[in-house]
Structure 1
């Protein structure tokens, strides 16, 4: 049994990012990771640093995403220097392609309206097919145009998690693997975290960053995590010559040459399976956007579960009944990583949440 000043439940990008920021600041941190038996959102992670379209109806979320994206270049350099792990990070902008003029009109109008309402400019713009072809000559003839945002980018998510955990441990952070937490008790002086076989750890403060697991753990600490699984199906192709210098919203080429594709969103409970109809529909759209992929072999396909709140926005909360307990339930773990490792970790260290953050992302917004 271990004791820590901070126990973080969840060893994915959100939990590891918060732990990284706390450990970097010199705090005693224990990261409790359930292991690969968990419904890891990272299994379906594209590795997109994505801004455009975030916060269409929430300027606070739009600015949160944009601020994090602006911090990504320095954060990636820091993490690579510290860990020695190449992240294959690039921030050359990305396209969200539309297959009809009507779709393009609707999307461009919505994004430009959100741009006007945000404090931090993203540089999003509407572009025609010729502008896309100048960057990706292989773009299909059926593409009407796209929206383009220069803040969008990409990173290798597996290397990212490896580098993040390496840096966390370099700063003195501890990891306990195979630690599935089923119950948390708080008595006002600290917390006892228990698994099936008994007490796993004790801590002065607790941060819930367990993805879908937050739904069951949060009520034990007077918190609320109204999250549900949303399945996405993804596939990756054989390695190809480099031809994508920037990404398309549901297609990106890895540094190794494979092309990762997928756009599906399904209410399938906790079922991570792949289904032929969804993969077929995804392949049809992908090959319409990039016809050169029609005769390329798919080498692997998989399903994964996103962590989704009712409105798709993050849920951040400080417990009113269990001082020292915090909740972070986030769908956009890659994009918001510099925020979680920076300002959010600093706020937890000071035992507070910024008023605008607490107001915009409290679960109380779902009880009207």
Structure 2
């Protein structure tokens, strides 16, 4: 066992922790990252790799995503390791005229906020892909959306952080956190203690357990999702596609779908990767930490994909896997200092947007710790206190 002294300890070695380590290291801080597994071994390895604004609420949410897109573009030029950055834009496809009407309102709100959105008609989406079903009336596009390999981006950020002097302690589980009288923290682990001035809880779906170690209630819960991997045997599409109903599935709206699709929160997400495969999702369930693949969910996702792309029925599926989105009630992450515990910060709860928002989260946490007056996004909508106020009212 070994003991460590550090300025800032980050608990969590996924993409959020790696981004925070990178920006803090770049700012000259001594940083230690602690993870009970390996780098990117949790949610960051069980997801797609999108940097999206298309599925964000107009206003603060979409503006934060736009800032993150700009930062990821900069990172593609700054980081030593390439991470398969591409900027093809993405589309949402509507299934009915009712969805088209809702999409027009969505596009107008996003355009008013300065984002690069436009409507697509039936001819547009068939030019996008001849495999689309003839019953689809159109959709919408966000030109600024990008895609990355989430594994490679996490490793690229972590490698650069280590070049700045960051220490990485993997396969090291946090067992207890003590807030000392001098304001510092002792983090006890399965491989010795880490003595630090500040702690950043970037533990994703396990952030609630880490918070409990310092008597803090963090309302983050695991929301399970499935992803299918298929071989790219046909040129179905060149960029990310989601059905417009994905927004309703994500934010809890009502859809006209069959009972099983509704029960498992299935909505089509279709993404080509640089390695010539397709990722097909998605589902949303609250069933704790049960990570087993449910073949009924897999079948529901496959049926949904065939409804939009009838020609892929015979496409070879390679495998299916699951992961857990760290969910919050208002679908925004918690990126916040903790007023009652000076020196303790939370950066978790990104649900399905951890890849999208990693860069802006890392930058914002660095600015908080450096006590910058001007920050990349206003921190108030992301504060932990927004939930604590609800409890006390």
Kindly indicate whether residue 38 of structure 2 is the aligned counterpart of residue 45 of structure 1. Answer: no
Matching of residues 253-264 of structure 1 within 5 Å = 253-264=272-283
Closer, same or farther: CA 356–255 of 1 in aligned 2, 3 Å: closer
CA deviations over 1:45-79 (Å, ceiling 9, x no partner):
110111013124xx222211111113322222212
Closer, same or farther: CA 327–284 of 1 in aligned 2, 3 Å: same
Kindly indicate whether residue 174 of structure 2 is the aligned counterpart of residue 172 of structure 1. Answer: no
How far off its partner does 1:283 sit? Answer: 0.6
The structure 2 residue matched to 1:200, chosen from 193, 204, 212, is 193
**In the alignment, which residue of structure 2 is the partner of 1:291?**
310
CA distance in 2, matches of 1:125, 1:306: 29
Kindly indicate whether residue 185 of structure 2 is the aligned counterpart of residue 191 of structure 1. Answer: yes
**In the alignment, which residue of structure 2 is the partner of 1:310?**
329
Closer, same or farther: CA 260–198 of 1 in aligned 2, 3 Å: closer
Give yes or no for contact 1:316–1:357 (8 Å, CA) kept in 2: no
Kindly indicate whether residue 382 of structure 2 is the aligned counterpart of residue 361 of structure 1. Answer: yes
CA deviations over 1:77-131 (Å, ceiling 9, x no partner):
212xx23xx3221111101112111122223313423543x3xx21112211211
Kindly indicate whether residue 264 of structure 2 is the aligned counterpart of residue 275 of structure 1. Answer: no
TM value normalised by structure 1: 0.90
Q: Unmatched 5+ residue regions in structure 1? A: none
Matching of residues 46-65 of structure 1 within 5 Å = 46-56=48-58, 59-65=59-65
Kindly indicate whether residue 33 of structure 2 is the aligned counterpart of residue 31 of structure 1. Answer: yes
Kindly indicate whether residue 148 of structure 2 is the aligned counterpart of residue 148 of structure 1. Answer: no
Secondary structure of 2:355's aligned partner: coil
**In the alignment, which residue of structure 1 is the partner of 2:355?**
334
Closer, same or farther: CA 235–316 of 1 in aligned 2, 3 Å: same
**In the alignment, which residue of structure 2 is the partner of 1:96?**
92
The structure 2 residue matched to 1:161, chosen from 151, 154, 163, is 154
Closer, same or farther: CA 115–184 of 1 in aligned 2, 3 Å: farther
CA distance in 2, matches of 1:268, 1:352: 41
Give yes or no for contact 2:272–2:278 (8 Å, CA) kept in 1: yes
Which stretch shows the higher mean deviation, 155-164 or 39-48?
39-48
TM value normalised by structure 2: 0.84
CA distance in 2, matches of 1:128, 1:136: 13
CA distance in 1, matches of 2:20, 2:124: 39
How far off its partner does 1:257 sit? Answer: 0.8
Give yes or no for contact 1:124–1:149 (8 Å, CA) kept in 2: yes
Give yes or no for contact 1:6–1:203 (8 Å, CA) kept in 2: yes
Closer, same or farther: CA 98–44 of 1 in aligned 2, 3 Å: farther
CA distance in 2, matches of 1:274, 1:192: 38
Q: Unmatched 5+ residue regions in structure 2? A: 243-268
Closer, same or farther: CA 151–37 of 1 in aligned 2, 3 Å: closer
Give yes or no for contact 2:92–2:241 (8 Å, CA) kept in 1: yes
Which stretch shows the higher mean deviation, 357-366 or 207-216?
357-366
The structure 2 residue matched to 1:109, chosen from 90, 105, 112, is 105
CA distance in 1, matches of 2:73, 2:41: 29
What is the root-mean-square deviation in Å for CA atoms of aligned residues?
2.3
**In the alignment, which residue of structure 2 is the partner of 1:18?**
20
**In the alignment, which residue of structure 1 is the partner of 2:344?**
325
The structure 2 residue matched to 1:130, chosen from 118, 123, 139, is 123
CA distance in 2, matches of 1:14, 1:334: 8
CA distance in 2, matches of 1:124, 1:355: 22
CA distance in 2, matches of 1:338, 1:203: 24
CA distance in 2, matches of 1:266, 1:212: 14
What is the total number of aligned residue pairs between the two structures?
Answer: 358
**In the alignment, which residue of structure 2 is the partner of 1:348?**
369
**In the alignment, which residue of structure 1 is the partner of 2:320?**
301
CA distance in 2, matches of 1:214, 1:191: 17
CA distance in 2, matches of 1:18, 1:172: 14
The structure 1 residue matched to 2:83, chosen from 76, 83, 87, is 87
Closer, same or farther: CA 148–213 of 1 in aligned 2, 3 Å: same
CA distance in 2, matches of 1:37, 1:68: 21
CA distance in 1, matches of 2:168, 2:373: 25
